Structure 1
Amino acid sequence: MIEITADIEAIIKQVILSFVATVNEDGTPNLSPKASLTARNGVLYFADIASPRTILNLKRNPAVEINVVDIFQRRGYRFKGRGLILPPEDDESLTIANWVRATNGLEYPVDHVVKIETSSISPLLSPAHVFARPARSQDEIRSTYYQKYGVKPIGT
């Protein structure tokens, strides 16, 4: 089993928005934003709140890739694997659906919960990490991108 590290979990929680790619019937990619990606007990899940195309694609072809990138840290992770649509009465499905409703409100429908059988995880690093000379610290990179986006961190 591929390990979901504490850093991976932290990035997922901080970023909130991830992007899930599936394969359309004609072989073209389908990219869908998800604010429901979560890691539980070393497993990734997301909820289908408004993603009928994603679910249709997974029923036909379970191949999935997920990207999570913190725009301020300029780093994240790429997950590849298979997306399994859980039965609605499944304990895992109920846990994720209840979490989504507790987080967002009861008006958010959870039509399906998808469990990811992860086959690979790789770090995503922007050129700010790879090519900057001299190398910059994570704090320097974060500060630079706060300025570029015109935002201030909460509590400052």
Structure 2
Amino acid sequence: MVQLTKEIKAAIDDSVLCWLATSSADNIPNVSPKEIFCFFEDHIIIANIASPQTVKNIRENKNVCISFIDILKQKGFQLKGIAEIIENSSKDFSRMEKVLLHLTEGKFPFATITKITITSSKPIIAPKYLLYPNTTEQEQIESAKKSYGF
């Protein structure tokens, strides 16, 4: 198990969406955006709002990959791990639900939660940081705002 560092936790807090990659028992991949996610202890938890394929795949194959970036800084992380579907009958569900309900403000019902135990992590950074090592986050933010019309 890989611990979630303060950098990973900060990146999660700075990200609006994450992308969860799963695979069926037949190794058919699926990538799905997730809006309601956060860290919980040393795990990532995601509210399963409209995720039938994700849940089905995790029940068949627990290996997942989750990626998230701050779209302005253009930095984030790719985390690989083992997923588990937490049912509302589980003793852990209510503790996790409280955290996720805070994010949904009660507007999106969910009956299960995906809990991911991280096994590896690596940073995601825009190529500009590599090609132009003196690029600051503030310069990258200004460049992204201009590109996205903010």
Question: Would you say same fold, with TM above 0.5?
Answer: yes
C-alpha contact (below 8 Å) 2:16/2:70 kept by paired residues = no
Amino acid aligned to 1:5: T
Residue in 2 that maps onto 1:85: 85
* 1:37 alignment counterpart: 37
* Structure 1 counterpart of 2:126: 126
Shift of 1:8: 1.1
Unaligned 5+ segments in structure 2 are none
Greater relative contact order, per chain length (Cα 8 Å cut-off, separation 6+): 2
Aligned to 2:138: 139
Report matched runs for 1:49-60 at 5 Å: 49-60=49-60
Q: Structure 2 counterpart of 1:69, which letter?
A: I
Q: How far apart in 2 are the matches of 1:12 and 1:92?
A: 21
SS of match in other structure, 2:92 = helix
CA–CA distance in structure 2, aligned partners of residues 96 and 49 of structure 1: 14
Give the superposition deviation at 1:147: 1.3
Alignment of 1:1-156 (within 5 A): 1-132=1-132, 135-151=134-150
Q: What percent identity do the matched residue pairs reach?
A: 27
Q: Which residue of 2 aligns with 1:154?
A: none
The answer to whether the 8 A contact 1:36-1:47 is kept is: yes
Q: Is the 8 A contact 1:74 1:129 kept in 2?
A: no
Q: TM-score, normalised by structure 2?
A: 0.91
How far apart, in 1, do the equivalents of 2:90 and 2:121 lie? 26
Measured on the aligned residues, the alpha-carbon RMSD in Å equals 1.6
Question: 2:78 touches 2:124 (CA, 8 Å); kept in 1?
Answer: yes
